[in-house]
Structure 1
């Protein structure tokens, strides 16, 4: 493809030498002090334990009785104008989460600003939650890393 094999071998050798040098330098460094390991990572220097994090979630959610016994199925399909569809149930759940969680929630994904996939965000906008919609680029890595950062930041 127009690249000499020798050039590729030289590039590989240079990169390997740099990696080896960096590893040696890192291995010779002293271990960090315990109090310094959060520097540059998060503003939370007294991170909550798992039980403390879970206790924050227990505050406003209500558990309701299941209408059916475990293993039983009861499906009735309706063409009525006011019937609930799977997408409508998701929309209602998103709106309820936004109402209950206040500033502690954000909905991120692709095409979130307009209406979301298949108009899923329209009820959120109608209820005044446009500020909770975060439009992300078409990159799973960016979405996952943003969510991880939000979690590390306490969201």
Structure 2
């Protein structure tokens, strides 16, 4: 079924083709292929972006990944995630995402920062500073809210925050 129906899977495979074209010096063809992919899947990944193995786009719509971004193995991204630049940097200007990271729906990770292995980025968060391994970042701008050890959130799709004192009432 993934081959026929999951556009996130299809978008990743299409990116792998455009990335291969890019590495072979066929930039114009890579951009053309990427442009068609973006129209078809509503997923915009620069052909130079480096994506690891076992990547999962759940509800792939609206994902944007910039040119110098690096995404580790076994990362899970929900819809509307952006791995972009801040506009204030040149050269290497996009995030580096570690192994097994979970990026919640609508998360924005901006700038040349590192998200450590097995970290979680909460839905709707705007991350402007590095996040250590196994930690959870949430908010606008994001702050660290939890740093347990040993979890693999991208595998379990665990969005929960354990033992947190909430400072608001709904």
TM-score range with shorter-chain normalisation?
under 0.3
- For normalisation by structure 2, the TM-score amounts to 0.23
Which of 1 and 2 has higher RCO (CA within 8 Å, sep 6+)?
1
Which structure shows the bigger proportion of residues in strand conformation? 2
Bigger CA radius of gyration: 1
- For normalisation by structure 1, the TM-score amounts to 0.24
Which structure shows the bigger proportion of residues in helix conformation? 1
